[in-house]
Amino acid sequence: MSAPAPTLLADLGGTNVRFGIAHPDEDQPLISESIRRYHVKDYASLGDAARQYFKETGHEAQRAIIAAAGRIDNGETVKVTNNPWAISAKSLAKELNLEWVHLVNDFAAQSMAVMLMSPEKTVDDQGHTELVQVGKPAIPVIGAKEEQTFVVVGPGTGLGVGGLLIRGDKVSVLQTEGGHAGFAAHTAEDIEILKVLNLRYGRVSNERLICGAGLVNLYTAICEISGQKPDEAITPEDITKRAKDGTCAMCSRAVETFAGIFGSVAGDLVLTLGAWDGVYLTGGMIPVLLPWIQQGNFRERFEAKGRFRDTMENVPTQAIMNPEPGLVGGAALAIVEAGGSPLRR
């Protein structure tokens, strides 16, 4: 724990790295005009990208919090999943002349982010707020009860899974690789999809279906099951666009199936972690997929947990629409590092 100071935040995924600056003692700790995005492929290392960020923006920082899409080893190193960079906290601190660098899993940061978000704050020109209710149960109030447990899950380049535990004034996050848990087929269509992907990959994890590449896997599997020839060059963006336009029946079916399986996965995580207080849906694909998540089979499959259906019907789900949840979460962590608490904001 240390006194408040300007803190470099980085949200590092498989494709992009986003930087921002946090001032932990400010009412709005994440400085919105400080946010920049860089392509990972354009830089040899995180240090190179950070130096470019400082050069372009003129911002300075005394320490850094790096939220990375990978497993953190002893708090000191991380090899980012789907990304060529390997990061050492001590080496990066020395390279950038910082007091310290803390590494956290990206979904640990996104789990913290919800404490700085509001269902009233608008984030885009379509009127979406930072938190959008999915299903009937209302969005919970963070800190309203002495003990709360939440799941944070979302598809992007991969499938991230985190947990948020509130116990009185203490906040803890679970840093997991739950996206790599095995896919559990629940419907006849699921079983056929699993057969196709099992032949292709062997073991089939949830991430093989619920992420950008997973949407393509679903599309090609559904085409094969239906006896249709897939578009071999199709991208996730192509699939969602064609589904939205209604120009491709296989794309529409793939997106609808994606939303349903995502609901099953999210519901399983509630059972696994005992996260009866709610689920936050996040990741780069959520804003695009929101219409299918709200209108499709997401909630039905989320709730379809046999003897626990009645319980699951009362578990809230909400979509995070803030475009920078990783940086917002990094700002929340900066508050904690400076001796404060996001719960009291």
Strands 16-22 and 36-39: antiparallel
Phi, psi for 233 (deg, rounded to 5): -100, 10
Residue 235 vs residue 78, higher pLDDT: 235
Reported as a single tens digit per residue, the pLDDT across 208-265 is: 999 999 999 999 999 999 999 999 999 999 999 999 999 999 999 999 999 999 999 9
Residue 156 pLDDT exceeds 60: yes
Name the packing angle between helices 249-273 and 212-226 (round to 10°): 120
Residue (of 325, 286, 278) closest to 106 by Cα position: 325
**Amino acid letter for position 40:** V
Q: What pLDDT, on a 0 to 100 scale, did the predictor assign at position 139?
A: 86
With a pLDDT cut of 90, the percent of the chain lying above it is: 74
Residue (of 37, 3, 38) closest to 23 by Cα position: 3
User: What span, in angstroms and rounded, lies between the C-alpha atoms of 313 and 311?
Assistant: 5
Helices (H) and strands (E) in the chain, counts: 11, 14
Asked if residues 169 and 340 have their Cβ atoms less than 8 Å apart, the reply is no
pTM: 0.89
* Angstrom distances, CA of residue 174 to CA of 44, 71, 227, 258: 30, 12, 42, 25
Taken in order 197, 105, 286, 148, the sign of the CA dihedral is: positive
80 DSSP assignment: -
Residue 188 pLDDT exceeds 90: yes
Q: What pLDDT, on a 0 to 100 scale, did the predictor assign at position 81?
A: 66
User: What span, in angstroms and rounded, lies between the C-alpha atoms of 326 and 35?
Assistant: 11
Residue 193 pLDDT exceeds 70: yes
Return the ∠ at Cα 269 (arms to 267 and 273), rounded to 5°.
Answer: 125
Encoded tokens for 263 = 């609901």
Residue 296 vs residue 7, higher pLDDT: 7
Query: CA-based diameter of the chain, in Å?
Result: 63
Residue 70 — very low, low, confident or very high, per pLDDT cuts 50/70/90?
A: confident
* Angstrom distances, CA of residue 328 to CA of 145, 279, 296, 343: 23, 18, 29, 14
User: What span, in angstroms and rounded, lies between the C-alpha atoms of 290 and 298?
Assistant: 10
Residues 117-122: contacts with CB under 8 Å, at least 24 apart: 117/320, 117/322, 117/325, 117/328, 119/318
DSSP symbols for 130-197: SEEEESSSPPPPTTSSSEEEEEEEEESSSEEEEEEEEETTEEEEEE--GGGSBP---SHHHHHHHHHH
Reported as a single tens digit per residue, the pLDDT across 92-124 is: 999 999 999 999 988 889 899 999 998 888 888
